[in-house]
Amino acid sequence: MRYKWLWCLLVVVMIAICLCIFLPITDNHRTPSSIPNENRLKKMILDTGELNIDTILKQIALDGKHVFIPHLSSDKQYGYSLLEWKDNKWEVIYITSTGEPLLWKIENESGTIPNSF
C-alpha cells in the first residue's frame, strides 16, 4: 500500500514539472490583445524617449502581431512607428521621424522569414 502512494506522488510531481516547463512555452503563442488606443500609443512612443508624437494618422495592422503607425511629430515631421506583439504585450520596436523606407522582415506563420519579398 505504501508503494501505491509513492507512485501516485511521483506521477503528480511529474505532471507538475511538465506543466511548469510547457506552460511558459505556450504563452508566447497567445493571441495578441487589441491594438492600444491613440493615447496609449502616444505614451508608449514617448516612453522610448526618441520622439514626441503630436498626431497618430492611422493604425494599420499588417498581421495579428505587427502594426504600422504613421504619425506626425510635435515638430511637424512625418514619420512612423512599428509595433510588435512580444512576450504577451505590444512593444514599440522602431520609430522614425524622417519617413525613410524600411524593409521589415516579418516571420510567417511557420516561424521562418521568407526568402523573397
> pTM value?
0.68
Number of domains in the chain: 2
Contacts of 71 (CB under 8 A, 6+ apart): 45, 53, 54, 55, 56, 57, 78, 79, 80, 81
Residues 18 and 63 in one domain: no
pLDDT tens sequence across 11-59: 889 888 877 777 665 545 567 778 888 899 889 888 888 788 889 999 9
Residues 6 and 53 in one domain: no
Asked, for residue 109, whether it belongs to a domain, the answer is no
Residues 51 and 78 in one domain: yes
Asked, for residue 74, whether it belongs to a domain, the answer is yes
Residues 25 and 55 in one domain: no
DSSP H or E stretch at residue 21:
helix 2-27
| Percent of the residues in the chain that have a pLDDT greater than 70, as a whole number | 83
Residues 49 and 88 in one domain: yes
